[in-house]
A = this chain, B = another copy of it.
Amino acid sequence: MDSRGDSDAGVAEAPIPPATVRRLPSYLRALHGLAERGEERTRSAALAELSGVSPAQLRKDLSFLGSFGTRGVGYDVSELAQYITATLGIETEHRVAIFGIGDLGHALANYPGYSRRGFEVVALFDAAPEIIGTEVAGIVVHGRGDVARVLAEERVTLAVIATPASVAQAATDEAVEAGIRGILSFAPVSLQVPEHVDVRTIDVSSELQILAFHLQAGQIPTRVPGATAAGDTDRV
């Protein structure tokens, strides 16, 4: 992350730093919001505030994607949104499977914002006989024995693990065996996966513990000047 000081900002061919990749979804979300309000152009100050980063951070991040914006004129909202969409690889929708259809799986299956953001939930799996065969968000829940077949048929590329911690590794193994290379896990355990598979973990208690640390320390985490929403600036 900080080993690339030798590259020139603004050269689009340079690899995009992971920290920049993590902020691109925020920029895209802000741009979609502007587009919905009918705004065709925006300036870095406005877009930065909506995204919770400083204008300098925004400009630096966008410089990794290429040349955008004109001083005094700003950014074309739809052009920039389209470019970030292409950079993230979500021009074609990714098809998502959810493992574990408890309260959390229900919430994730019913979340309304996916399609606008490049995703479609197309497959649901659970181990409980009383849940298999039921419909959630219009999708039939399949059992564990159907994982490989359904993932292939539905051309799933990303899996979300919403199972209890005790079976998260088993669900992950099934997804990986079926060829899934991107996994988002809500289970508070460290999942073991082969080198070619990418796992991101959302752990609610860990996030609360980080907040607790800041409460105790009586300090707001380090962030760039001008950031509006604290905390998420250094990780989103």
Please report A residues at the B interface, Cβ cutoff 8 Å: 1-2, 18, 21-22, 24-26, 28-30, 33, 50-52, 87-90, 94, 96, 102-104, 106-108, 110-111, 113-114, 117-119, 157-158, 160, 165, 181-184, 188-193, 195-217, 220-222, 228-232, 234-236
With A160-B208, A201-B236 known, 13 other A-B pairs at CB within 8 A are A18-B221, A22-B235, A25-B206, A29-B189, A103-B103, A107-B107, A118-B208, A119-B205, A190-B229, A193-B229, A198-B231, A202-B207, A206-B236
Chain B's closest residue to A33 (CB) is B189
Q: Are B202 and A204 in contact (CB under 8 A)?
A: yes
Q: Are A113 and B188 in contact (CB under 8 A)?
A: yes
Q: Are A201 and B229 in contact (CB under 8 A)?
A: yes
* Bound-complex Cα distance A221 to B33 (A): 28
- Minimum CB–CB distance from A204 to chain B (whole Å) comes to 7
Given contacts A18-B234, A192-B228, A213-B24, contact A119 B208 (CB under 8 A): yes
Q: Are A199 and B232 in contact (CB under 8 A)?
A: yes
Count copies of this chain in the complex.
2
The answer, among B182, B188, B202, B211, for a CB contact under 8 Å with A182, is B211
* Bound-complex Cα distance A25 to B114 (A): 29
Chain B's closest residue to A28 (CB) is B209
Q: Are B230 and A197 in contact (CB under 8 A)?
A: yes
- Minimum CB–CB distance from A114 to chain B (whole Å) comes to 6
Q: Are A208 and B190 in contact (CB under 8 A)?
A: no
- Minimum CB–CB distance from A234 to chain B (whole Å) comes to 6
Q: Are A26 and B206 in contact (CB under 8 A)?
A: yes
